[in-house]
Amino acid sequence: MQDKTIGFIGTGVMGKSMARHLMKAGYPLNVFTRTKEKAADLLEEGAHWKDDVATLARESDIIITIVGYPSDVEEVYLGEGGLLANAQRGSYVIDMTTSSPELAKKIDEKSRENGIHAYDAPVSGGDVGARNAALTIMVGGEKEYFEGIRPALEAMGKNIVLQGGAGAGQHTKMCNQIAIASGMLGVCEAILYAEKAGLDPKTVLKSIEAGAAGSWSLSNLAPRMIDGNFDPGFYVKHFIKDMKIAIESAENMKVAVPGLKLAKELYEQFSKEGGENKGTHALYQYYEMMSSAD
């Protein structure tokens, strides 16, 4: 049994697997989510239900959140009855939601006032990385206290890097999402091209994923496209949210991101066609629709 109790808020596609790995690592786990039924299997496995955010905060040493949108993060951390008003002095809060770098800095400032150590630690790797405890975790926060949370992060991920101070984790995640956004367009176009050329796309993958075109998306998501499996490892609606944050941050720094803006435009169009709750790789279906229209 680990000597620190972890509070976990957010048991969605990725969060549930992450919470489960923490329990397997021996951490006592407190759980809160808006819909208790979503945490039912974790509770059966030994997690302890808490009726609200404030109670979870008071009874946990390390508090991890992975929720939907920056507005959710703000409510959980800064709202009435939120984490920062109720967490113990000397405790840790780790937001693993992909959220705003500016909000991460705001949470850090408020945490310092309350004697709490705050970290922004968004992740990459999707549902597969979460299930396999192989997530990439990008961390922003104080170096001095980082070792206090490293063991918990190592229970969920393999590639854990402290990028800098508050907000640095979120800025790094924006770099990640920018690279994925344009790359996903290329993956969709390559698979559709292969099919239209009369090739077996699975055989094509054997060649191109091992060459200069290789990427995580090509190796892990192109096979799902080919098999017609568009279940979410990461939701389209959440990816659109991420791209909006990245574009806003880029514009504040006067960085041109035309590829990212094009990707966001295509994903928004696909969302309007009913794709918002599908996986990001389902953009392939929108390419199919565009090709059929031509």
Of 248, 232, 241, 242, the closest CA to residue 283 belongs to 232
If one counts every other C-beta atom within 10 angstroms of the C-beta of residue 54, the result is 17
Instruction: Classify residue 9 by its DSSP letter.
Output: E
Question: Which residue, chain included where needed, has tokens 């001095």?
Answer: 144
SS3 142: coil
pLDDT string in tens for the chain (294-residue length): 689 999 999 998 899 999 999 999 999 999 999 999 999 999 999 999 999 999 999 999 999 999 999 999 999 999 889 999 999 999 999 999 999 999 999 999 999 999 999 999 999 998 899 999 999 999 999 999 999 999 999 999 999 999 999 999 999 999 999 999 999 999 999 999 999 999 999 999 999 999 999 999 999 999 999 999 999 989 999 999 999 999 999 999 999 999 999 999 999 999 999 999 999 999 999 999 999 865
Contact 55, 88 (CB under 8 A): no
Catalytically annotated residues: 173
Strands 135-141 and 123-124: antiparallel
Cα–Cα distance measured from residue 137 to residue 122, given in angstroms and rounded to the nearest whole number: 6
Of 279, 91, 284, the closest CA to residue 189 belongs to 284
Of 229, 246, 215, the closest CA to residue 280 belongs to 229
Instruction: Classify residue 156 by its DSSP letter.
Output: T
Domains along the sequence of the chain with CATH? 6-165 (3.40.50.720), 172-293 (1.10.1040.10)
